[in-house]
Chain A
Amino acid sequence: MLEINRRNARIWSMLGMRRVLGMALSELAEQDERFVFVTADVARYFGAEKFAQAYPDRYIDVGIAEQNMVTVAAGLAKEGYHPLTATYATFTTARALDQVRVSLAYMGLPVLLVGVGGGLAEGDLSATHMGLEDVAVMRVLPKLTVIEPADCAELLLALQALIREPRPAYLRLTGKTGQPMLYRNMFEYTIGKANCLQGGDGSLAFLTAGTVTAQVLKAAESLADAGTVHASVYDMHTIKPLDAALLEELSHCGRLVVVEEHMQSGGLAGAIAEFYAERAQRPRILALGVKDAYPAANDYEEMLRLSGLTAEGIASSVQRWMEAEQ
């Protein structure tokens, strides 16, 4: 099931991350007898029914009670099991924040928290269902690993890596069904090590994570076609710990553009800015994200457009930035 090839990648991208997660559950349970799935009345949302039938003992639905969900998972982890929790990004990271803080960050219990609806994918349900602060909140917690895959193939590799070596972690899922495919072949996936998706001339690099990566690649292409800049593009799937070696390397790059489906402050761009803050040699940084307000509920694509997070929006922001600073 987990072989990454063109055919599978196409199927997964049609399903979207939620369904791919649901599909992966049985596989994870088969590989790891201590794997347990904990959710809060959104199992059907992942298509987890098959898993529930196959592994009824390792399927735990606590009802609409995210705080309990997190600490119940922590109790399982304390007793040697490998729990994966799944519900909306914001309910896990905001509503149950103190539980995450006490059980994962303080006690260090290896729970894998999965947040769906990271970014604007569920934004048609209004701001209550937007996951726009989750990265900011999770990445300041000690001991947490924070991961945001760019597509479904990478999601599966991230899940494998996290189940192989359990740790306190937050896995952020973005996008809807019918996502673009980025990875069509098996590749070396290492937590904490970014993937270079495209090389450039060294004057400008895009750093990004999540399904918005596909938009960034298109933006980079159109900037190259227009003769503006040959930018490199990096998939920073691990937001914590940051790929320090890469950032060290990029400190000689003139400009970085960080693109994320998250509040403009506190997320990936914030983490990168913190990394460079104390260094004398550092690039200028343009942070593209949602600007300090909840977008009006709308279609996903329309919200991305209004937030400047489509390929066109990203390219024109970069164009303006470069013109203004010349």
Chain B
Amino acid sequence: MGLQSGVKGAHLGGGMSIVELLAVLYADVMQYRVEEPDWDGRDRFILSKAHSAIGLYAALHFAGFLTDEEIAGAFVPGSVLYKHPRLDLARGIEFSGGSLGQGLSLAVGSALALRLRRNPARIYVVAGDGECDEGSLWEAAASIVHFDLRQVVLVIDRNGLQNDGTTEDVMRLGDLGERFRSMGFAVSDVNGHDVVALRKVLTEDADRPRVIISHTVKGKGVPFAENQVAWHIGYLTKELYQEAMESLSYVRD
């Protein structure tokens, strides 16, 4: 949260909604080696909803890919940690995001490559529910099922909000799970703020490619930002930062 204070356009809300997911992935589920970031056996993580960079950087810092100095300088003009992460394997970043609807296709190509060399590593992709408006995401989804790429695990951050309003008001998604199920995915719903449930669902095996719909609250843990459209790209003043930190410590207690 300190990261975002004073920075405009950092998408705090969408960053907060995937914090628990990232914590479970980086602390427990994913295989990786900080000292050998291009290790071929690593699980790949692709943040397709790249505007949640703030959450990814915190996770990469926790994992050891980013130094204290780098994380403190994130988003600051001149920093290599952009508001949308840029491909930088040395820092654990696998994709240059920002243009929505493309991360899943990159995962398809990566999974086909891993299969060619019999590498069982997994590829976790996080896409936003608003991002599901992009047609190219569905092209990629169809090809995952068609090529039976079970190494790809797609997590949809279902926080219900996008830039212009709720996902249902802006462009109705309807029953998202049913959409994926009808394509041939195994679909699981999970409370995206429940780390135990997340861990369970992320480590399950299935006999077909999987989609996890992670139900979250945008701006989770910060009452004034929770479920507020304005906090899609809201801006933390010093006062609001204090208030947010107090709420979070209250939650922790």
Contact = CB atoms under 8 A, between A and B. Distances in A.
A72 B108 contact: yes
Contact of A68 (B105, B110, B113): B105
A68 B96 contact: no
B178 to A, nearest CB: 22
B143 A99 contact: no
Given A76-B112, A79-B114, A80-B113, A68 B106 contact: no
Contacts of B136: 65, 67-68, 71, 99
Contacts of B3: none
A77 B95 CA distance: 13
Nearest to A66: B139
B127 to A, nearest CB: 13
B102 interface: yes
A241 to B, nearest CB: 23
B106 A67 contact: no
B143 A75 contact: no
A167 interface: no
A75 B96 contact: no
A73 B114 CA distance: 13
A75 B112 contact: yes
Contact of A72 (B98, B105, B114, B116): B105
Interface string A50-91: 000000011010110101101111111111110100000000
Given A62-B139, A68-B136, A107-B87, A74 B116 contact: no
B142 A65 contact: yes
B106 A74 contact: yes
Contacts of B101: 67
A72 B109 contact: yes
Given A79-B113, A81-B116, A68 B108 contact: yes
A48 B88 CA distance: 36
B140 interface: yes
B107 interface: yes
Contacts of B110: 75-76, 78-79
A98 interface: yes
Interface in B84-104: 87, 94-96, 98-99, 101-102
A63 B94 CA distance: 26
Most B CB atoms within 10 A — which of A36, A63, A75, A76? A75
B111 interface: yes
B150 to A, nearest CB: 16
B105 A57 contact: no
A248 B156 CA distance: 55
A38 B111 CA distance: 14
Size category of the binding interface on chain B:
20 to 34
A99 to B, nearest CB: 6
A216 B182 CA distance: 56
B143 A102 contact: no
A174 interface: no
Contacts of A70: 105
A77 B142 CA distance: 21
Q: Which of A70, A74, A79, A98 has the most CB of B within 10 A?
A: A79
A68 B140 contact: yes
A95 to B, nearest CB: 10
Given A62-B143, A67-B139, A99 B105 contact: yes
Contacts of A62: 139, 143
Contacts of A81: 113, 116
A106 interface: yes
Interface string A166-178: 0000000000000
A67 B98 CA distance: 16
Contact of A75 (B98, B111, B142, B146): B111
Nearest to A99: B102
A92 interface: no
B113 A71 contact: no
B142 A78 contact: no
Contacts of A76: 109-110, 112-113
Contact of B99 (A73, A74, A102): A102
Given A57-B116, A80-B113, A107-B96, A75 B106 contact: yes
A79 B139 contact: no
A310 interface: no
A103 interface: yes
A78 B46 CA distance: 13
A260 B157 CA distance: 49
12 contacts: A60-B112, A60-B147, A62-B139, A68-B108, A68-B136, A68-B143, A73-B109, A75-B113, A78-B94, A78-B109, A98-B99, A102-B96
Interface of B: 87, 94-96, 98-99, 101-102, 105-114, 116, 135-136, 139-140, 142-143, 146-147
Interface of A: 36, 57-58, 60, 62-63, 65, 67-68, 70-81, 83, 98-99, 101-103, 106-107
The 8 closest A-B pairs by CB, nearest first: A75-B109, A71-B105, A79-B113, A68-B139, A65-B139, A72-B109, A75-B110, A67-B136
